[in-house]
């Protein structure tokens, strides 16, 4: 037992010395963009080439078949947050465009608050009492039909809290082919690094 404890102590001391002596290299590797399998991103259901440039400002936009990222901070997490802010802006445009039609189909007259978050565990979440819907920014990777299906899904929660038969009947009524579209959405897996 004493030998194991000494071995653990020796190992911890060694690791600590290694980290301290290589701190700069470790810090740099943790805060730089990991290598991409391919320099591509998905946006609105299509694959785009990704171009990242150092700049004195932050800007992300899509043009032709490319997404351009101009950044004042080349840190991986920082670039990821820029891209997800861009995604949120693009989803918000779709929401604003679809909202009048959705409100008519659901016969809703109250204002709905939308929020956009970089989450990986869900596509959308509804808080009926607060009249609030949260959409995952990753939705911007998918074709707009899938984005709309998630918005409709969350709107249906204003009428039904759970996923009972009436919930899906309402969705099929206001969004034909909802079940098929959702089934296809669940099959799509994008392995984008951002």
Residues of the chain with pLDDT under 50: 1-8, 10, 32-38
Q: Report pLDDT for 113.
A: 96
pLDDT tens for each residue of 143-160: 999 999 999 999 999 999
Q: Which two tokens stand for residue 18?
A: 């290694």
Query: pTM for the whole thing?
Result: 0.77
Q: Report pLDDT for 193.
A: 83
Q: Report pLDDT for 7.
A: 45
73: helix, strand or coil: coil
Cα separation, 132 vs 111, in Å, equals 9
What order of strands is seen across the sheet that includes strand 66-71? 40-43, 46-54, 66-71, 59-63
Q: Report pLDDT for 150.
A: 96
Q: Report pLDDT for 9.
A: 52
Cα separation, 118 vs 114, in Å, equals 14
Report phi then psi at 184, rounded to 5: -65, -40
Report phi then psi at 47, rounded to 5: -90, 130
Report phi then psi at 81, rounded to 5: -65, -35
């Amino acid at each position: 037992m004493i030998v194991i404890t000494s071995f653990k102590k020796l190992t911890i001391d060694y690791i600590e010395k290694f980290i301290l002596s290589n701190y700069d290299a470790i810090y740099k590797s943790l805060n730089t963009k990991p290598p991409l399998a391919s320099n591509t991103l998905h946006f609105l259901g299509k694959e785009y080439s990704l171009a990242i440039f150092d700049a004195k400002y932050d800007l992300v936009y899509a043009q032709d078949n490319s997404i351009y990222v101009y950044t004042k901070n080349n840190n991986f997490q920082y670039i990821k947050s820029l891209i997800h802010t861009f995604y949120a802006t693009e989803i918000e445009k779709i929401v604003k465009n679809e909202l009048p039609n959705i409100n008519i189909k659901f016969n809703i007259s109250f204002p709905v608050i939308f929020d956009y978050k970089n989450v990986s565990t869900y596509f959308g979440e509804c808080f009926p009492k607060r009249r609030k819907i949260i959409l995952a920014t990753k939705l911007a990777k998918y074709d707009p039909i899938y984005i709309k299906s998630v918005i409709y899904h969350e709107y249906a929660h204003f009428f039904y809290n759970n996923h009972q038969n009436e919930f899906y009947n309402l969705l099929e009524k206001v969004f034909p082919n909802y079940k098929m579209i959702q089934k296809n959405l669940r099959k799509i897996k994008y392995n984008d690094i951002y």
